[in-house]
Structure 1
């Protein structure tokens, strides 16, 4: 992750990097501080039940992860990454201001109550409306920034190694800023004031937005290329309409484009997924006299066909990562509920905020990223003679994530045994006599897994996606996270319905069984990943 001056270009390079990375830091501070501690805010300030708060938090996280996909589509097709990121920052700033007002003004919150009991008064319709307006603005805003700015940053560089270095710095900054937010800002929210904490998130978002806009003279422009999705959609339609046509091995039988006078013949489509090659097969009446396509939904270029096939080829590998995000979403919400029942004291005067426990995951990830880049990669290259590919990196991440589930189950079993002994001896379940630091090993393993598979996935998609879909490529990991959060909410709801594992008081449940189920499914998913990766052929070489 060495930073060296850009050469040969007045715009872009590491000059632009300085502005973008500061914006990333501010975005991460603001989004983490306003979104990741909401489960504690919902329980303590809005009188929600614990499992309900966990499910709503997962839905919000899912929305935040899905909006980057819509932002990427708009960036690729119409506005460009810089404009989408700038507008999204404005929306996010408004959302943090609304949340700050709600935390500050008593009239916008229900009366304080004891931990979501049945006697607690829920928020009024007006209070709910203000809450959901703020949450909508935050999820749309930060969702629109998160990976659009990653694509914009990578577009400032020419060399593949510089782009890879940027992604390492992007994730490193993202996690370090999140660590600061989950310690300092979470502490302020829990021990000083939610209003002050959310206000700091708004300030960080404002600074990030101003910094991004200030760097405009140093950026390379990223021009949208129209709607690539419409072009790709034509491929399966044209293929089906020509399903009776016989494929040919002759270059002149396939349409490569036109130069304004006659068709251009570049090459025959590749052999994989040959059915779709029919979309580029020239039939009578498909081409106008000037060489242009006469019927767009009957004829596509060879490049459009190959781009479409590359996306289809990636989908099985992409689907293997859905379980990883589902598992992370489940662990991320339930681990806060575990922490709420455990001893969180460090010394006699300081108590760790429950929402800050997952910071161990971010610390592990932040430490692992430079070690992987500076130690593991060179060692692998020296011993094996070949670089560690993105698919290797993703596979290693799978292994650590599965191990994390097994360790989570063992630690939860220990916590339950202590809780049951306390209930027999003291008839109380207010706090289990077990340090919350016991949750660190599972978070440490999960953090190593994230350091491997998230950057590996971003690099893989950026490398393998068509040029016209670069913003969408980096947003694919966000789409996976979003689906994972929604799946985690659905899984928790299903488990609550069909098993006694997840009651509102987890001391009377079997959360360890939940983790063991994730472990078994993780092993099966890893086997599926090995099959998909073995069958995959790289598009970019």
Structure 2
């Protein structure tokens, strides 16, 4: 979260100091933000299948520290003194070296934050489970970096061996079913291979996606013990059913992409709108970081209010929440469009169209509602994605269901770059002028916001359709209700 707060204002830095065009700067931020949410899937699999959480946590710590250090070195006052160039925060002071350092720093912080979000929680859980309390309490209070490095180098507790990744199970089922594609399924499904494991939830056979059942077909011409050793050719019914649940959830996850597209506005175009408005509150001036505080405050407030209101709905809470979050997203886009139309009107009436660095005589707090509504979308979405994972995922895949929900959200953030490019190209073909220009005053973000509001409405209809056909498992609401209360108290939700 610390690195995220530091980088939240990066959009302003890129447009003011680097003087990048609006779309270019937004693309950098959205690719970075999206990758932070997509990459945890890879690092979780890497930790569970090969390296273990402690190694990945150490890697995340080093990557984050080096990345932030490179970003610091890329600033003109720091690097300028070393190479003898100018040291002012101006575009002429930004050279090739600064750009290379910043891009490398952003990439490393992205990798570090992604690997930390994937593995730090399981790593801490392992330490609590495997260590005596009297030799751990003091270590937990040490700063994060020291805890990471000391935890691995000094032999902090035990180092559990990786137990395997559920994604490997999915790959095994797909591979085995493909290899046996010409085999005939038995009429009696009880003849399929199954071996109970007391550590895992036993799943009954279902008829959907029957082609995957072939992964559990026992070859009668070979000894069973020999087949059990080749795990990529013979899978248990439970493993097949876990794969089926995962595949059936993909259409739902795909509707989550649009949440990320809307969320991408907060650290890019919303901030760009805010930086040229009047920040005065009496004799004081409101800093842009204040909007991060408002966003975070209302994100938590909306999430807590939603949880307290709809907890009585039980296992319907995630489904209701996804609809509510999408409504928040649509309202945020509509509000942003109306505010931007007003801002452009003032810009035109005061002759500021060709003066992008001039302050617009309009209070910055006109933007507060769109930030607040976007906070509601992000908070409720994360809560409901978490609840859905605990309620519907197989026991072995709960963590990965949550990571995939965040990953598709991140794909939406990264996908917003392509949408902006396509919208700009199509608008230029249709009207002769693109909605996106080098500066905010020349652009038509209000039209873009209206388009997003319309697309959110369409996505809501698609979500309702997909959700109505989705095959839900029996709810485990009583089991995850207490876990949800813990989730509500955590800082990073």
TM-score, normalised on structure 1? 0.74
Closer, same or farther: CA 388–232 of 1 in aligned 2, 3 Å: closer
Closer, same or farther: CA 230–106 of 1 in aligned 2, 3 Å: closer
| Contact 2:21 2:439 (C-alpha < 8 Å) held by counterparts | no
Q: Which residue number corresponds to residue 396 of structure 1?
A: 324
| Contact 1:393 1:456 (C-alpha < 8 Å) held by counterparts | yes
Closer, same or farther: CA 267–458 of 1 in aligned 2, 3 Å: closer
Closer, same or farther: CA 154–256 of 1 in aligned 2, 3 Å: same
| Contact 2:44 2:119 (C-alpha < 8 Å) held by counterparts | yes
Q: Which residue number corresponds to residue 267 of structure 2?
A: 332
Matched, 1:472 2:406: no
| Contact 2:295 2:374 (C-alpha < 8 Å) held by counterparts | yes
Q: In structure 2, what is the Cα distance between the partners aligned to 1:333 and 1:126?
A: 25
Matched, 1:136 2:107: yes
Q: Which residue number corresponds to residue 133 of structure 2?
A: none
Q: Which residue number corresponds to residue 54 of structure 1?
A: 26
RMSD of aligned C-alpha atoms? 3.4
1:437-462 CA distances to partner (integer Å, 9 max, x unpaired)? 11111121121122211121123224
Matched, 1:248 2:186: yes
Note the C-alpha offset of 1:147: 3.8
Note the C-alpha offset of 1:321: 0.6
| Contact 2:437 2:443 (C-alpha < 8 Å) held by counterparts | yes
| Contact 1:251 1:268 (C-alpha < 8 Å) held by counterparts | no
| Contact 1:42 1:53 (C-alpha < 8 Å) held by counterparts | yes
Q: Which residue number corresponds to residue 372 of structure 1?
A: 306
Q: In structure 1, what is the Cα distance between the partners aligned to 2:170 and 2:457?
A: 35
- Picking from 400, 415, 440, the partner of 2:368 is 440
Note the C-alpha offset of 1:402: 1.7
Matched, 1:460 2:433: no
Runs of 5+ consecutive residues of structure 2 not aligned to the other structure: 130-141, 428-433, 476-493
2:351 alignment partner, SS class? helix
1:266-298 CA distances to partner (integer Å, 9 max, x unpaired)? 88621222221122122333x435364365444
Taking the TM superposition and a 5 Å limit, the aligned residue runs for 1:277-296 are 277-285=213-221, 287-290=222-225, 292-293=227-228, 296=231
Matched, 1:319 2:218: no
1:434 alignment partner, SS class? strand
Taking the TM superposition and a 5 Å limit, the aligned residue runs for 1:92-131 are 92-103=64-75, 104-107=77-80, 111=86, 120-121=91-92, 123-131=94-102
Q: In structure 2, what is the Cα distance between the partners aligned to 1:350 and 1:267?
A: 59
Note the C-alpha offset of 1:339: 1.0
| Contact 2:73 2:79 (C-alpha < 8 Å) held by counterparts | no
| Contact 2:27 2:417 (C-alpha < 8 Å) held by counterparts | yes
TM-score, normalised on structure 2? 0.80
Q: In structure 2, what is the Cα distance between the partners aligned to 1:345 and 1:228?
A: 53
Matched, 1:405 2:339: no
1:444-503 CA distances to partner (integer Å, 9 max, x unpaired)? 112112221112112322443344444433322331233122211122222333332111
- Picking from 342, 347, 358, the partner of 2:277 is 342
Q: In structure 1, what is the Cα distance between the partners aligned to 2:455 and 2:157?
A: 45
| Contact 1:42 1:48 (C-alpha < 8 Å) held by counterparts | yes
Q: Which residue number corresponds to residue 18 of structure 1?
A: none
Closer, same or farther: CA 505–133 of 1 in aligned 2, 3 Å: closer
Q: Which residue number corresponds to residue 76 of structure 1?
A: 48
Note the C-alpha offset of 1:139: 1.3
1:78-112 CA distances to partner (integer Å, 9 max, x unpaired)? 23334423431222122222323333514279747
- Picking from 448, 460, 480, the partner of 1:526 is 460
Taking the TM superposition and a 5 Å limit, the aligned residue runs for 1:118-517 are 120-121=91-92, 123-151=94-122, 207-211=143-147, 224-257=162-195, 269-285=205-221, 287-290=222-225, 292-293=227-228, 296-353=231-288, 356-373=290-307, 375-378=308-311, 381=312, 386=314, 388-423=316-351, 430-499=358-427, 500-517=434-451
1:173-224 CA distances to partner (integer Å, 9 max, x unpaired)? xxxxxxxxxxxxxxxxxxxxxxxxxxxxxxxxx9223356789999998653
1:63-84 CA distances to partner (integer Å, 9 max, x unpaired)? 2222212211112212333442
Q: In structure 2, what is the Cα distance between the partners aligned to 1:404 and 1:221?
A: 47
Closer, same or farther: CA 362–102 of 1 in aligned 2, 3 Å: same
Closer, same or farther: CA 54–370 of 1 in aligned 2, 3 Å: same
Closer, same or farther: CA 111–469 of 1 in aligned 2, 3 Å: farther
Closer, same or farther: CA 351–399 of 1 in aligned 2, 3 Å: closer
Note the C-alpha offset of 1:304: 1.6
Runs of 5+ consecutive residues of structure 1 not aligned to the other structure: 1-27, 159-205, 260-265
Note the C-alpha offset of 1:34: 3.0
Q: In structure 2, what is the Cα distance between the partners aligned to 1:143 and 1:235?
A: 27
Closer, same or farther: CA 88–151 of 1 in aligned 2, 3 Å: same
